[in-house]
Amino acid sequence: MKKITVLILTSLTIKSFSQLPPYELPPYQRAIPNEGVPIAHRYLGESRVPYSQRIHRVIDSRMKQNKDITWPRNPLNQIIWHAVTTGYSDLPRPKAYANDSLVTIINETLIREKVEKEIWVDVQNPANPLDPNDLIRIPLKEPFDVSTIKKFRIMEDWIFDAQHSDFRPTIIAIAPLYTMLSETGLELGEAALFWVKMDDLRPILAQQEVFNRRNDASRLSYDQWFETRNFASHIVKRSNVYDADINQLEEYRDNGEAALLESDEIRNDLYVLEHDLWEY
């Protein structure tokens, strides 16, 4: 009887990752937002794009406006980790890339090596099972706690569409950030665990529900959440000849306050550029 119970619980766990999780039974049938299909993007040709600029942002899930993605029933960090390392049975598994160039593909083993620590434990010597004091040390991999991922870095292109006369962003890729640790446990700063193309991830995000703080009766998918830009973020990089973040540039390297002011200046430049495209 116990074995049957375990099998049932396992199947329910797998099912909750493959579709919108039905935690309660409402008095009416609820459908997947947008029928589980990503929101279509308009066609863009080179002749229609006279100007574009690449921007990197960081979304911190600890910010009040971003608390939606920490919803315990379906957090974003769990969705992205499961999509890349395990995959969803009914959807193609998105490829993971080593950096934001989106060229070098890394596999699950390389990803886990970054975050899984090796620990040594004492176990009874199998060659001498009758002596409980005969112990040997063996190495084990400590499982990665996905809940430690608090930040996400997105790479987006701000594109001016001459045909529609608008200036709007398109998210190109997303990367969960993790804290690098030395062998002694010293924190070495944050880095991208892996990068995944947003176009590869959107079919999964379109079938995953995010908390809708405005209306419980209106379901909201993660794809809609990103497309409607319901997140708060700060800019950490604008395309430059050094291909470096703001805090890596010489004039901002040792001045965090100046780096934050430069981030706000870039955001304001985007607003002014869009405003100046029109005549009044």
pLDDT digit string, tens, across residues 36-82: 888 888 888 888 999 999 999 999 999 999 999 999 999 999 999 99
Which domain does 56 fall in, by range?
A: 52-112+147-239
What pLDDT sits at residue 22?
A: 52
Q: Please say whether the dihedral angle defined by the alpha carbons of residues 196, 197, 200 and 203, taken in this order, is positive or negative.
A: positive
Q: Residue 201: which of 103, 32, 61, 80 has the closest Cα?
A: 80
Q: Do residues 249 and 229 both lie within one domain?
A: no
Q: Do residues 254 and 219 both lie within one domain?
A: no
> In this predicted model, which residue has the larger pLDDT, 31 or 114?
114
User: Where in the chain does DSSP place strands (E)?
Assistant: 51-60, 96-97, 105-106, 117-124, 135-142, 151-161, 166-181, 187-192, 195-197, 209-210, 220-221, 234-238
Q: Do residues 235 and 272 both lie within one domain?
A: no
Q: Do residues 220 and 152 both lie within one domain?
A: yes
Q: Residue 249 domain-assigned?
A: yes
- Give yes or no for residue 17 having a pLDDT over 50: no
Q: Do residues 173 and 153 both lie within one domain?
A: yes
Q: Would you state the structure tokens that stand for residue 10, as one six-digit string?
A: 């396992």
Total residues belonging to the chain: 280
Q: What is the pTM of this model?
A: 0.82
Q: Residue 171 domain-assigned?
A: yes
Q: How confident is the model at residue 196 (pLDDT cuts 50, 70, 90)?
A: very high
How many independent structural domains does the chain possess? 2
Q: Residue 201 domain-assigned?
A: yes
Q: Do residues 275 and 174 both lie within one domain?
A: no
Q: Do residues 86 and 202 both lie within one domain?
A: yes
- What's the angle, vertex CA 171, arms to CA 169 and CA 175, rounded to 5? 145
| Residue 81 near residue 170, CB atoms below 8 Å | no
Q: Residue 85 domain-assigned?
A: yes
